[in-house]
Amino acid sequence: MQLEKIQHALPKIPELVMQTLIAAIDRGDVNVGEELPSERDLAEMLGVGRGSLRECLAILEFLGAIENRGNRKVVIRDADYIQKSISFVRVSNKPNIQEDFSEFRRVNEVAIAGLASQRATEEDLAALAEAVRMLENDPADYMNDIRFHDALAIASHNMMLAATIHLVNSMIADIRIRFFGRPDYQRQSQESHLAIYEAVRDRDEERAKREMDCHLKIVEDFARKYPDH
């Protein structure tokens, strides 16, 4: 379940359903590390509908709070983690969030580009090259842009940065869609991604950071130019 779908699903789920499940975990009625009851039994225990419960479980699974083990689901995170994760997702629905996202990306992705230039393996470089090729072959598919940035974050070999950027990239998908289909953006974006890849490949840390900074300026300029498209 992609995060952009979760963003739309969260407001539609009765708040009581999610909060009731979180409260049950907090009380210990549903224990961290143990299998959840069957969907039917859990819905009855919480006094909620199975359809709403199923949506909640899908969101919690995406957020890494529960995981599938065979045909059962196991809670692997506590109530505090779940509350904070949901709050983080809801941030993306707030108005005027673009500037915060831009600042976040500038702080983190410039650093990621620098780390990747030092740490990328041959396998990482091959993944980046493939992401660049996919962007060139299908520039209208914004997911190819996400694949590049995910691959770059993985190449930094910093698990915290890679996981965070993956989540944030999903959260800002709607911002990309506003202008991603424009040929002028596609051309500049392709050139910029290629320049970042080449700097990382050449192990040029300062150039990689500089090219990422330039790339983010391109994104910011188009986001301001086409705020409602």
pLDDT band (50, 70, 90) for residue 209: very high
- Residue 222: which H helix or E strand, with range? helix 205-225
What average pLDDT is seen over the chain? 83
Strand partners of residue 73: 68
d(CA 146, CA 171): 11
pLDDT band, residue 89 (cuts 50/70/90)? low
Please state the rounded mean pLDDT for residues 138-165: 89
Percentage of residues in the chain with pLDDT exceeding 90? 32
- Alpha-carbon span 109 to 78, nearest angstrom: 29
| Global model pTM greater than 0.85 | no
On the question of pLDDT at 13 being above 60, the answer is: no
Res. 156 pLDDT band, cuts 50 70 90: very high
Would you state the pLDDT for residue 39?
86
DSSP 148-183: HHHHHHHHTT-HHHHHHHHHHHHHTHHHHHHHTT-H
Question: Going by C-beta distance under 8 Å and a sequence separation of 6 or more, which residues neighbour residue 61?
Answer: 1, 67, 68, 73
Determine the Cα–Cα distance for residues 18 and 53; give it in Å rounded to an integer: 8
How far is residue 211's CA from residue 152's CA, in Å, rounded to a whole number? 13
Question: By C-alpha distance, which of 133, 152, 135, 153 is closest to 144?
Answer: 135
